[in-house]
């Protein structure tokens, strides 16, 4: 399970998506996530599927690598689907057993919610797969730059987000090493009920937290030794400049939003489903 977590990882490849400005990828990702909530029809999600599939194809990130990132959220996905499936009442009753009833509305909402959650994870992960942590930090700082006028520490916020993303794969690798070391010493981390398995994780969590605090201290000392004092007056070795491909990406996403809004909100295709 630890190896299946791909959040925060960067997948190097030579693609159009990798060469886009990080600001473009951040804004376009946010627009795509918003598009998942402004429509609730079958053709709307078909449009989102085609758009997401085309972007994955352009990114040249293997589909298996992307799907692997969904494994850690399977439990949350199943819980959400079951809650919407059995608690939403309305429409024709499709299945009825004991105190549970599956209705047409509940089935439709649960399917849409499952697709929406999967696309949220895939869409946000695709941004980190195709953007280096340094570029992502610069992009976040430039996107949030107007907030400096109201005294929001944008540079510090972007730096913390970058450090958090960079620490995720490091801590996952450290967790994997600690678990293997504890298993080699005779620890049983997989058998028993939930409470027993949670108690067995204590020998893993304690050294993991110690290692995390040690790494954080080393990073703070390294930043102080290099006279780091925030973003005031700092320049960029590679300043962000919009290219023609970035403008084309914005146009493409805006056209996608227009199609999704028209198909998902102005046209009622709910009769196509079930």
Burial label, 73 (beta-carbon count in 10 A; 0-12, 13-18, 19+):
middle
Gap between the Cα atoms of 223 and 217, Å rounded:
10
Burial label, 151 (beta-carbon count in 10 A; 0-12, 13-18, 19+):
exposed
In which residue are the tokens 């937290």 written? Answer: 209
pLDDT at 29: 93
Report, as an integer, the average pLDDT of 41-66: 88
pLDDT at 246: 93
Gap between the Cα atoms of 31 and 37, Å rounded:
10
Residue 111's pLDDT band (cuts 50, 70, 90) = confident
Report, as an integer, the average pLDDT of 257-272: 66
Query: Which token pair is 77?
Result: 């996905």
Least confident of 14-18, 54-58, 164-168: 164-168
Report, as an integer, the average pLDDT of 177-187: 84
Residue 57's pLDDT band (cuts 50, 70, 90) = very high
pLDDT (tens digit, 9 = 90+) per residue, 219-228? 889 888 888 7
pLDDT (tens digit, 9 = 90+) per residue, 243-262? 899 999 999 999 999 888 88
Residue 145's pLDDT band (cuts 50, 70, 90) = confident
Least Cα distance to 197 among 205, 188, 208 occurs for 188
Least Cα distance to 115 among 26, 28, 30, 43 occurs for 43
Residue bearing the bigger pLDDT, 274 or 252:
252
Return the bridge partners of 114, or none. none
pLDDT exceeds cutoff 50 at 268: no
Gap between the Cα atoms of 125 and 113, Å rounded:
18
pLDDT at 26: 92
pLDDT exceeds cutoff 60 at 2: no
Gap between the Cα atoms of 172 and 37, Å rounded:
32
Query: Which token pair is 223?
Result: 């930043």
Say if CB 43 and CB 263 are below 8 A apart.
yes
Residue 264's pLDDT band (cuts 50, 70, 90) = low
| Mean of the per-residue pLDDT values of the chain | 80
Give the whole-number percent of the chain exceeding pLDDT 70. Answer: 86
pLDDT at 231: 65
Say if CB 175 and CB 201 are below 8 A apart.
no
Report, as an integer, the average pLDDT of 181-187: 82
Residue bearing the bigger pLDDT, 88 or 52:
52
pLDDT at 4: 55
pLDDT at 3: 54
Gap between the Cα atoms of 134 and 137, Å rounded:
5
pLDDT (tens digit, 9 = 90+) per residue, 171-181? 878 888 888 88
| Residues whose CB falls within 8 Å of the CB of residue 219, separated by 6 or more in sequence, listed in order | 163
Residue 232's pLDDT band (cuts 50, 70, 90) = low
Least Cα distance to 163 among 216, 113, 92, 122 occurs for 216
Return the bridge partners of 102, or none. 95
């Amino acid at each position: 399970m630890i190896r299946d977590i791909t959040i925060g990882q960067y997948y190097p490849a030579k693609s159009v998506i990798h060469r886009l400005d990080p600001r473009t990828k951040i804004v376009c990702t946010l627009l795509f996530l918003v598009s998942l909530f402004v429509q609730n029809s079958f053709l709307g999600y078909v449009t989102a599927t085609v758009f997401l599939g085309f972007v994955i194809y352009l990114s040249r990130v293997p589909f298996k690598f992307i799907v692997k990132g969904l494994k850690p959220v399977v439990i949350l996905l199943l819980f959400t689907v079951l809650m919407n499936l059995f608690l939403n009442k309305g429409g024709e009753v499709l299945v009825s057993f004991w105190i549970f009833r599956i209705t047409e509305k509940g089935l439709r909402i649960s399917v849409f919610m499952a697709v929406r959650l999967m696309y949220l994870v895939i869409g946000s992960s695709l941004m980190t797969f195709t953007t280096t942590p340094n570029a992502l930090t610069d992009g976040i700082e430039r996107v949030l730059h107007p907030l400096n006028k109201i005294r929001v520490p944008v540079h510090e916020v972007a730096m913390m987000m970058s450090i958090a993303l960079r620490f995720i794969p490091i801590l996952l690798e450290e967790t994997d090493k600690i678990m293997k070391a504890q298993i080699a010493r005779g620890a049983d981390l997989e058998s028993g009920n939930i409470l027993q398995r949670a108690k067995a994780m204590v020998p893993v969590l304690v050294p993991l937290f110690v290692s995390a605090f040690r790494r954080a201290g080393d990073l703070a000392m390294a930043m102080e030794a290099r006279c780091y004092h925030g973003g005031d007056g700092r320049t960029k070795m590679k300043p962000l400049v919009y290219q023609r491909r970035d403008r084309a990406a914005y146009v493409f996403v805006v056209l996608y939003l227009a199609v999704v809004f028209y198909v998902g909100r102005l046209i009622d295709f709910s009769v196509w489903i079930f």
